[in-house]
Copies of this chain bind each other. A is one copy, B any other.
Amino acid sequence: MTTLIDGKPGESISILDRGFQYGDGIFETMAVANSEPLLWDRHLHRFLHGTARLSLKAPSVDLLRREAEQVCRGNERGVLKIILTRGITGRGYAPNMDAATTRAVSLLPWPDYPARLRTDGVNVQFCRNLITRHPVLAGLKHLNRLEQVLARMELKNGCTEGLMQDETGHIIEGTMANIFIVSGGALLTPNLEHSGVDGVMRGLVLERARALSMDCRVTELTREIILGADEVFLTNSLIGIWPVRQIESQDYPVGRITKQIQDAIRDAIVAD
């Protein structure tokens, strides 16, 4: 791991940091290929949206880019993770709006997911642990991730991902990936207005699918709709697209549209 904390090499932060005390911050995780963070502009856009939504002071875009380049340099593959927290203030939830933020920019090892996950697909289950609805936090990649940790702990042997539903019974996403289904020729993905992470790869998939004139719909998906789908796949910036082969006892093919979209985003992922 190579990390810059507020621009200086380091690997630790104060226990008084609000990131540690309250999860008061946001993060970004992106794939790095040949020393380059992929989809940088899109990640930066979501990051800045997160800072605005949480009233976090955003660092300068140039500074962030320089630090990202510094930790990525010389790395053929890796994961670039940027964490921004509200820094150190006194005890209590009230933030000091003048306090400096804490910025951690790290290059982490590439996860080396088996290549067959992209070709042959993965098994998925439904999770009992809920993902909650919160209009201000919805869409953000913030540091409060206990819901995902709890859901991830439910995964049975052989399952690579778990799908999370909100209190109203709508499936929102996986613990670490967004979900798409193909149904009657249309591409559907859950509405993230109330909860979930607005994935950068999800955004790219929607854009490229529309460019291919596919019928794309951001809508509400239930367990039943997903179980009745023709194709299902998962997306995130590191995995790219993983076809889903099985959910509980329902089988799916690695379908034509899934493969077409995998082809359409090939420039934006780390090659196997």
Contact = CB atoms under 8 A, between A and B. Distances in A.
Contacts of A142: 146
A15 B105 CA distance: 10
Interface string A80-96: 01010010000111110
B23 A22 contact: yes
Contact of A20 (B17, B108, B176): B17
Interface of A: 1, 3, 5, 11-24, 27, 29, 54-55, 79, 81, 83, 86, 91-95, 104, 106, 108, 111, 129-130, 132-137, 142-153, 155, 167, 175-176
A95 B15 contact: no
A23 B150 contact: no
A95 B210 CA distance: 37
7 contacts: A12-B15, A13-B15, A15-B104, A22-B145, A92-B111, A95-B152, A137-B147
A174 to B, nearest CB: 10
Contacts of A130: 134-135
Contacts of A3: 15
Given A5-B15, A13-B15, A15-B12, A146 B137 contact: yes
